[in-house]
Amino acid sequence: MKHLRFANGRALAAALLLALPLAAQQNNGITQQMGEQILNELRQIRMLLEKQNRPAAPPPEPLSARAKMALDGVPMLGDKNAPITIVEFTDYQCPFCQRFHVTTFPELKKKYVDSGKARFFSRDMPLIELHSNAMRAAQASRCAAEQNQYWTLREVMSANPDKLGLDQIVNFGSDLKMNVEALRTCISSEKYKASVQADVMEAMRIGATGTPAFLIGKSTPEGVDGELVLGALPMAAFDEKIRAVVP
C-alpha cells in the first residue's frame, strides 16, 4: 500500500498544481488561510518526492475514465431512487477537500441532492503519507454513524482540516451532543480501520490518484456507472458533468 501511494506521488502533485490556478481564480471562495494550506500541501509533496532515492515510477494509465461501483452500505444523502449518483472520495485533512465542502458542496446539495435529482455518497481516501490525522478522522466519521451523527461530524471535520487530533474530534462530538466517551473509545479502538482501507483500495481500483475525487454517473441497482473526475471542481463543472448524464 505504501509503495503504491508513493508511486502516485507525481500524479498527485500534478493534480494539486493544476488545481492551484483554479483556486486563485475563485478569490471569493478561498480564504488566505486556505491558500496557505494549499501551498503547504505542495511543499510537503515536493519534500516527499525529494526524499526518495530514485525517481518515482509513473502511475499506471487507467484503461478508462469510466467505472462501475457497488455502494451497498456506503453513507448516502438524498433520494435512494434519484437517477444520478455522485460519489466523493475525501481526505478530511486535505485543503482541496475543504475548499470543495466550503465553496461548492452546499450549492451542489441544494441544487441536486435536496431536489431529488441526485444522491450523494461519501467514501474515504486518507493520504496517510501527507496527513497524519486523516485516517483517524475517517474512522471517527464511522464511529459517529453509530450515534446517527455521520453527516454532522463529517461537516465539522471537513471544515476544520487543521483540528483533527483525537481530543479535538471528541470536542466536536461534545458540541454535537454525542456520547463522547463512546466516541473516544470507538476511535481509539481503530475498529473501522479495515473499512477505511477498503475504501482506499476501491479508489485506487478506479484510478483515483488524489483527493477529492468523484465518480459521477447514472444510478444503478448496485450503485453507479459513471465517470471519474479529479479535483475540487467549481459548481459549473458539476453542472456540465451532470447534464452529460441526464440532459
Over residues 22-47, the mean pLDDT reads: 53
Q: What is the pLDDT, as a whole number, of residue 1? A: 37
For domain 65-245, give the fold.
Answer: Glutaredoxin (3.40.30)
Q: Where are the beta strands (DSSP E) in the chain?
A: 66-70, 76-77, 84-90, 118-124, 213-219, 223-230
Cell readout for 229 is 473526475
pTM of the model: 0.76
- Average pLDDT for the chain: 83
Query: Which candidate, 13, 35, 36, places its Cα nearest to that of 23?
Result: 35
> What is the distance of C-alpha 225 from the center of its chain?
19
- What are the sequence ranges of the domains in the chain? 65-245
Lowest mean pLDDT among 64-68, 189-193, 237-241: 64-68
Q: Is the confidence at residue 53, as pLDDT, over 60?
A: no
The predicted-structure confidence for 217-239, as pLDDT tens digits, reads as follows 999 999 999 999 999 999 999 99
What is the pLDDT, as a whole number, of residue 21?
A: 39
What value does the mean pLDDT take over residues 103-115? Answer: 97
pLDDT higher than 80, residue 32:
no
